[in-house]
Structure 1
Amino acid sequence: MTIPNLENNRVKLSLLDLSNYTHLESIAQQKDLIYYSPSDISTPEALKAYVQTAVDGYYHKNTIPFIVFDKISKNYAGSTRYGLISWKDKVLHIGWTWIGYEFQGIGLNTNMKFLMLQYAFETLEFEKVEFRIDDRNQKSRKAVEKLGATLEGVLRSDKLMKDGYRRNTCCYGILKAEWPEVKEKLLAVIG
């Protein structure tokens, strides 16, 4: 499976692997960057294990991890991923997204998600894209709702967090039939 770079004038998403992940070490150590995730990236060793899991998933064809490059600041900004890919059902998740605090609220995430949605629906020809978010994470929930995703339900006590808390997971989705309208709205936002 060869994945091209996904890019526009704002952002470039390239395959994340063990040859490039060290660009993210300083960002990954930002305090509470992935507080609402069950994953750990807080040390160089934890980040390497996180990337190794993503790479393993890539070779098993159930994840496609990306390293995020902000073309405006010319800096690596974070990581995102397609995951839980069902090639048979034509459904995948977009998630495992984290970008440094300095890259938040400036349109980078919207551009990333647009490129990922466009590739999922128009190139991979998937039928549905899902997002799963901790119900306490209002910032991420609002961002996904702004993309045009619909809240489909909440999985109660779904994930065990690093601190022992059992989170409720909000499930959002965008269907292929909804993509043309979602795309039009996103293009108006990202220009």
Structure 2
Amino acid sequence: MSPFTPAPITKILHGVTIEPLTLGHFDAYYAALLVDPTTMDLYSFPPKSTSPEHIREFITARIAAPNMAQVFVNSAGEVLGSSSYYNVSHENHSLEIGYTWIAAPYRGTNLNPIVKLVMIQAAFDDMGAERVQFVTSSKNLRSQRAMENIGLTREGTLRRDRLIHDGTLRDTVFFSVIRPEWQTVQECLENLILSREFWSHCDKNI
């Protein structure tokens, strides 16, 4: 088994740069979120509000160790969305990808498959992961559809398994891809990237 060395990434694919999130991204991150203030409503613990102070507080928490928060930016430095590597298990060579959001103008384009391809590929090929896990609320149907569309395996639902910000217990749906399945999922992602509307025709040839 390969060594497991999880770490933040900096990679570019189809004009999208996936790089570590920092407070230096704050202005562009905040501007992208304000296009649809409901973007993070289904997070277990979303920002307390969309005020600059609370969004800055949220970013600070996401970039604190051991989280490995990533941000997606275009060639103009505009933020297109964000995601994180977290829940790392060194003993089991596994990690989770989550806290993902896509800015409203790019939902339904090939941005999500691009980002998932880069982040999952890095987890397996660069970090040595054996399993990459994804979880979402049973109420977040948009997220579940997105995971199914990229070829992830739905493993089931844990009922009332975690307390969330409003004091209720949520049902959590689990998806994953394991190393033996990665080539098939990779091909699915590559096909989705080619078949969906390109996230930015201006950068299509990058």
Q: Under a length normalisation based on structure 1, what TM-score does the superposition of the two structures give?
A: 0.88
Deviation at 1:139? 1.0
Q: Pick from 163, 168, 184: which aligns with 2:166?
A: 163
Task: Summarize the Cα distance change of 1:106–1:50 in structure 2 as closer, same or farther, 3 Å threshold.
Answer: same
What root-mean-square deviation, in Å, do the aligned CA atoms of Structure 1 and Structure 2 show?
1.9
Q: Pick from 60, 66, 70: which aligns with 1:66?
A: 70
State the alpha-carbon separation in 2 of the partners of residues 122 and 153 from structure 1: 27
- The one-letter code of the counterpart of 1:116 is M
Aligned to 2:31: 26
State the alpha-carbon separation in 2 of the partners of residues 34 and 2 from structure 1: 25
- The one-letter code of the counterpart of 1:37 is Y
Contact 1:21 1:67 in 2 (8 A): no
Gap runs ≥5 in structure 2: 1-5, 195-206
Size of the aligned set, in residue pairs, is 186
Task: Summarize the Cα distance change of 1:4–1:36 in structure 2 as closer, same or farther, 3 Å threshold.
Answer: closer
State the alpha-carbon separation in 1 of the partners of residues 32 and 85 from structure 2: 20
Deviation at 1:26? 2.1
Deviation at 1:27? 2.4
Gap runs ≥5 in structure 1: none
- In the TM superposition, 1:141-156 aligns within 5 A as 141-156=144-159
Deviation at 1:74? 6.1
Q: Secondary structure at the match of 1:20?
A: helix
Deviates more, 1:40-49 or 1:82-91: 40-49
State the alpha-carbon separation in 1 of the partners of residues 32 and 164 from structure 2: 21
Aligned to 2:198: none
Query: Which gives a bigger RCO, structure 1 or 2 (Cα 8 Å, sep 6+)?
Result: 2
State the alpha-carbon separation in 2 of the partners of residues 7 and 113 from structure 1: 12
Seq. identity, %? 26
State the alpha-carbon separation in 1 of the partners of residues 7 and 32 from structure 2: 27
Superposition misfits of 4+ residues, deviation over 4 angstroms = none
Aligned to 2:79: 76
State the alpha-carbon separation in 2 of the partners of residues 2 and 94 from structure 1: 13
- In the TM superposition, 1:1-191 aligns within 5 A as 3-29=8-34, 30-41=36-47, 42-57=50-65, 62-71=66-75, 75-191=78-194
Q: Secondary structure at the match of 2:23?
A: coil
State the alpha-carbon separation in 2 of the partners of residues 139 and 156 from structure 1: 19
Deviation at 1:99? 1.8
Contact 1:65 1:79 in 2 (8 A): yes
Q: Deviations over 1:73-109 (max 9, x none)?
A: 8631121111111223111111101122111111111
Q: Under a length normalisation based on structure 2, what TM-score does the superposition of the two structures give?
A: 0.82
